Amino acid sequence: MDVQPVTTHHLVKSEDLNHHGTLYAGRSAEWFVEAGFIAAARLVPPKNIVCLKIHGMSFTRPVPPGSIVGFTSKIVYTGKTRLIANVVMRVQDDIVLNGFITFVNVDQDGRAMPHDVTVTPTSPEDIALQEQARNLP
């Protein structure tokens, strides 16, 4: 399956700031997980998705208030029950944050269950992202 990216946006407001007056990492993590969840929910029912692990969120610079941040997320790797999203946050055209997040497809009792989704990379970039995701701890 060729999976298309999903983009969401947020305005950085005063309640999103840390004690330095820039975007708080905790708020970024919330939006990061949300963006990955939306990508996963395009492939499996949302009620079956749980977050297993954030594999790192690497910031390249602080984000000031008033910025509009865009999160582009895409499922880049699937296992039997898991879906791994790559999530990139941009301010205008600058990448400010990049990372991966693993979700698991679960039944009504919270037990992992197969999702029958296979992701087939179609570009060199997607192949590289899939390889990175495959090798995550």
pTM of the predicted model, to two decimals? 0.95
Pairing of strands 82-91, 6-11: unpaired
Instruction: Tell me the C-alpha distance between 55 and 28, whole Å.
Output: 14
Residues 6+ apart with CB under 8 A from 135: none
Give percent of the chain above pLDDT 90.
95
Instruction: Tell me the C-alpha distance between 120 and 130, whole Å.
Output: 9
In the predicted model, is pLDDT for residue 110 greater than 90? Answer: yes
- Binning pLDDT at 50, 70 and 90, where does residue 1 land? confident
Task: Look over the chain and give the mean of its residue pLDDT values, rounded to a whole number.
Answer: 97
Q: Which two tokens stand for residue 38?
A: 């939306």
Helix (H, G, I), strand (E, B) or coil at 43: coil
In the predicted model, is pLDDT for residue 136 greater than 90? Answer: yes
Helix (H, G, I), strand (E, B) or coil at 131: helix
In the predicted model, is pLDDT for residue 2 greater than 80? Answer: no
Radius of gyration of the chain (CA): 15
| CATH architecture of structural domain 6-129 | Roll (3.10)
Q: Span 66-85, mean pLDDT?
A: 98
